Amino acid sequence: MEIKTVAVIGAGVMGGGIAAQIANAGVKVLLLDIVPKNTDNRSVVAQSAIQKLLKVKPAALMHKRNAKLITAGNLEDNLNDLAHVDWIIEVIIENLDLKQALYKKIDAVRKTSCIVSSNTSTLPLADLAVGLSKSFRHHFLITHFFNPPRYMRLLEIVEGPDTKPGITDTLCHFCDHQLGKGIVKCNDTPGFIANRIGAYWMQTAMLECMRLDLSVDEADAICGRPMGFPKTGVFGLMDLIGLDLMPHILDSMMHSLPKSDAFHEQAHIPDVVNSMISEGYTGRKGKGGFYRLNKSAGKKTKESVDLKTGKYARSETAALDSLKPSIANELKKLVSFDDKGGEFAWSVLSKTLTYSAGLIPEIGDNIEAIDRAMKLGYNWKHGPFELIDKIGVDWFIDKLESKQQPIPAILAAAKNKTFYRFEAGQRQCLNLTGEYRTLKREEGIVLLEDIKRQQQPVKKNASASLWDIGDSVLCLEFHSKMNSIDPDILAMIDTAVAIIPNKYKALVLYNEADNYSVGANIGLALFAANVAAWAQIEAMVKSGQDTYKALKHAPFPVIGAPAGMALGGGCESLLHCDAIQAHAESYIGLVEVGVGLIPAWGGSKEVLTRCMLDPKRAKGPMPAISKAFEIISTATVSTSAAEAKSHLFMAKSDGITMNRERLLFDAKNKALSMLPDYSPIEVEEISLPGATARTALNLAVASFVQAGKVTEYDGVIADQLALVLSGDETDIADLHSEDDLLTLERKAFMALIKQDKTLNRVQHMLETGKPLRN
């Protein structure tokens, strides 16, 4: 069975988000909700939800045109339309009677092959399926999405005893390949996996924070990056989720779980939190939560709540001894440290990890699935069992025994072992019997982390490595700090260009960091500028230009495979590839103007050329030049790979992979598909109008300066960009080669790097990570 059309019933925040992600996959969606009273527009609820999707931040839609794939309707006039869809997702309120009544209506009209699933996060499938037809139960299961559905990769799937295996397989394939989800199959237990452990963890952290008299800021500083949890910390995360959801989650868990479950010990909401909720302090969606922004006195001040008094005060940087880098950077030292931060870390971590271990085999017997659920659903860097390995299984058991804390069976089975190990390059995990089983990737998933365990790099330096990924294809991995492009990375690109023609067939630019590349290492340029080493800086610029030019015209296919941010010099590396296979969540752009510079490793040249050769552009050179000027001067960054095509950072023929784990496989296949009859990219020459275009662009910028929308120095930067895009001193009859444009890029770059205001912007960016307007 193939899923071609989907219906989502329930047009609230979650239902709308699920519909948006399905539309992002290019699949038609029918979005239905009730007919409200006293209105002439019977589908207003679903229509309003679609309008909200076009405005919400962060964007639910990867491109605004995707909204056209969502059709609004209502459950009275459009119920029969469900007969034509392949999958129906119920996303209504958590009320068993209402859900079952809806299922009976659906069963009366659905086609017999149609899959039906519930997005419930609290109700057992066994209860939902009571009284439903045999055919319905064969096609019924739970698909628990996490909010926001576009960005949260976890999808928990719960099958019933009557669910046909083929139904689950069809749904898993669709959600994996087309929605980009990480699938975790769960047992039919309260909260499934992620919310069962996640809710326990958050409650434990809140109550232990109050017991130990820590501030919110101190608790989040401990229960965040040092422990591999989201950088928001636990209180920041609760603000994001919504404090008002806590009572509902806890009530559901307390009602569903046996009294013997340790969850009951933590299922208490302090009076101060209840007061916050009643007063509208429900988190980011309300007036604030554990944190708020005080906008009085004409500026924004971050404040945090005092958990004893409920009063707010300016947030202060935590200054616990346990947060010193020598302690906080090593988890075992942190949980052993003798201050209240160390005690808090041990208390939260030990209780959370032993609770997680004690849930085996109730919620599942696969520890890898549990770790995966917490990483994908709660953004933990390491899952519970990976964390135990990190601090040491035997050390953890000994400390639990010394504190007279219980030892779960799976933890006892791991004594003198680790939960994970590598055997002959294969990752294995422990089970309850104390034996290991090999973990196998799904077909079509190729990860560089696996390849790196099985072989040595073909070539390697401090910032980049070349790996053989099979079929005579090499992968070039960046691994500098934040994957910033530096001379070592450029040297490795040169190496790849030199060795591939003799032994290999193609190259893929790819890595598995959070971001493909944040851009060039501008710190090197700043250091050289501070000692007036202008010749050295120009040589660095020329080196980057030469390397990217050689990459572009290499005698073999080069595929860029970005995920996350690909900015500045990182974006420029992609612009010089034959093709791109991007993860859907790729944020691509040229941001050099933010530090007072222009793209000078061929980025200005490539964007200009693409605009000039765009078949849809208006006649004459100025529309194309103006578009290139707008893209670069405003530091445009795409909010998705789909949007990157609109900005010409990607070509229409470039591919998009929804599931990041499948990106390398898809990129390699794209490279292999280009091998037959491959020929390098042809050299293009373009004609430019010269001074008239530069004047026109500067006049446009001058109006923005006069209106106070940009600074005078922004105008200086824009003038140098206009110099490049106009062709400088030229005639419309002249043709400009790549080298001509690269020369102009260097000229403009060198003019700007010598300016104090540019150097101030670079310095400010390095120190704060934020652009300076001067």
Binning pLDDT at 50, 70 and 90, where does residue 160 land? very high
Chain position carrying tokens 């989800």: 181
Q: What does the pLDDT look like over 72-119, one tens digit per residue?
A: 999 999 999 999 999 999 999 999 999 999 999 999 999 999 999 999
Q: What amino acid occupies position 398?
A: D
Beta-bridge partner residues of 143: 157
Direct distance between the N- and C-terminal alpha carbons of the chain, in angstroms, rounded to an integer: 59
Q: What does the pLDDT look like over 657-682, one tens digit per residue?
A: 999 999 999 999 999 999 999 999 88
Nearest to 648 by CA among 612, 685, 600, 686: 612
Q: What does the pLDDT look like over 582-633, one tens digit per residue?
A: 999 999 999 999 999 999 999 999 999 999 998 888 888 899 999 999 999 9
Check residue 364 and give its pLDDT.
87
Max CA pair span of the chain: 86
319-to-23, 228, 339 alpha-carbon distances in Å:
47, 19, 12
Q: φ and ψ at 687, to 5 degrees?
A: -105, 140
Interstrand relation of 115-118 and 87-90 (parallel, antiparallel or unpaired): parallel
| 215/364: higher pLDDT | 215
Interstrand relation of 154-159 and 558-560 (parallel, antiparallel or unpaired): unpaired
Instruction: Tell me the mean pLDDT in the region 234-250.
Output: 91
Q: Peptide bond before 557: cis, by omega within 30 degrees of 0?
A: no
- Give the pair of three-digit tokens for residue 219: 């608790």
CA distance 542 to 549: 10
Q: Peptide bond before 148: cis, by omega within 30 degrees of 0?
A: yes
CB burial readout 480-496, b (16+ within 10 A) else e: beebbbbbbbbbbbebb
- Give the pair of three-digit tokens for residue 499: 């060795």
H-run or E-run covering 140:
strand 140-145
Instruction: Tell me the mean pLDDT in the region 154-176.
Output: 96
Q: What amino acid occupies position 390?
A: K
- Give the pair of three-digit tokens for residue 524: 């090197």
CA distance 347 to 358: 16
The percentage of residues in the chain with a pLDDT greater than 70, rounded to a whole number, is: 100
654-to-77, 579, 665 alpha-carbon distances in Å:
41, 6, 15
Three-class SS of residue 579? strand
Check residue 725 and give its pLDDT.
97
Binning pLDDT at 50, 70 and 90, where does residue 315 land? very high
CA distance 574 to 561: 8
Three-class SS of residue 74? strand
DSSP state, 618? P
Check residue 38 and give its pLDDT.
87
